[in-house]
Amino acid sequence: MSWASSLVPSVLALALSAPVAASAAAQQPERRPVEVRTLEVADPFEIGAPGGALEGDAWSSGDARALRALLDVLPESAGPGWRSPAASRLAVRALLSAGEPPRSARGDSELAAMRAGRALSAGRAEPVHALMQRTPRTHESPALSRIYAETAFALGHREEGCRIAETLIRGRETSYWLRARAACQAFAGNIAAAELSAELARAQNENPAFERLFDALALERGLPENAAPMSGLQLAMAEFLAPETRITPGQEAPRWLHRAAERTGESVVLPEDLGEALEAAEAMEGALRAAALGALIQQDLDREIAAEALAIALDDAARNGSFVETASAYGIEVAEIPITADTLAHGPRFMLAALAADDIIAANAWREALLSGPPREVSPFEGAPWLSDEDAYGEGFEAPPPPASARTEPDPDWTPPPPGVLVALDFARAVATGEITGGGFEALLAARMEAPNPARLCQAAALSALGAPDGAAIRTALTGLTRDPEVPAPLIVPALLAAVAGAKGETQLHAARLIEQGGRDPEACAGAALALDRAGLRIEALRFVLELILDEEA
Write the pLDDT tens digit of every residue in 256-291: 999 999 999 888 789 999 999 999 999 998 888 999
Which three-class secondary structure state does DSSP give residue 134? helix
| Closest by CA position to 468, among listed 446, 436, 439, 432 | 436
Write the pLDDT tens digit of every residue in 489-506: 788 999 999 999 999 999
Write the pLDDT tens digit of every residue in 198-245: 999 999 999 999 999 999 999 999 999 989 999 999 999 999 999 989
Counting every residue, how long is the chain? 554
pLDDT, position 378: 57
Residue 313 · residue 327 · CB < 8 Å? no
Neighbours of 68 (CB within 10 A): 16
Q: Give average pLDDT by consecutive 10-residue segment, the chain, 554 residues.
A: 40 39 46 54 95 96 97 95 96 98 94 98 97 97 98 98 97 97 97 97 96 95 93 98 94 96 88 96 91 96 98 97 96 98 97 98 98 77 49 49 51 89 98 96 93 91 94 79 75 96 98 94 95 98 98 93
Which three-class secondary structure state does DSSP give residue 409? strand
Which three-class secondary structure state does DSSP give residue 377? strand
At residue 409, φ and ψ (nearest 5 deg) are -150, 160
pLDDT, position 523: 92
pLDDT, position 190: 96
Helix (H) or strand (E) holding 109: helix 109-122
Radius of gyration of the chain, Cα coordinates, nearest whole angstrom: 33
pLDDT, position 31: 54
Which three-class secondary structure state does DSSP give residue 171? coil
- Our CA angle for 131, 136, 139, nearest 5°, is 100
State CA 488 to chain mean position distance: 30
Helix (H) or strand (E) holding 479: helix 473-479
Q: Rounded to two decimals, what is the model's pTM?
A: 0.85
* DSSP 8-class letter at 62: S
pLDDT, position 480: 73
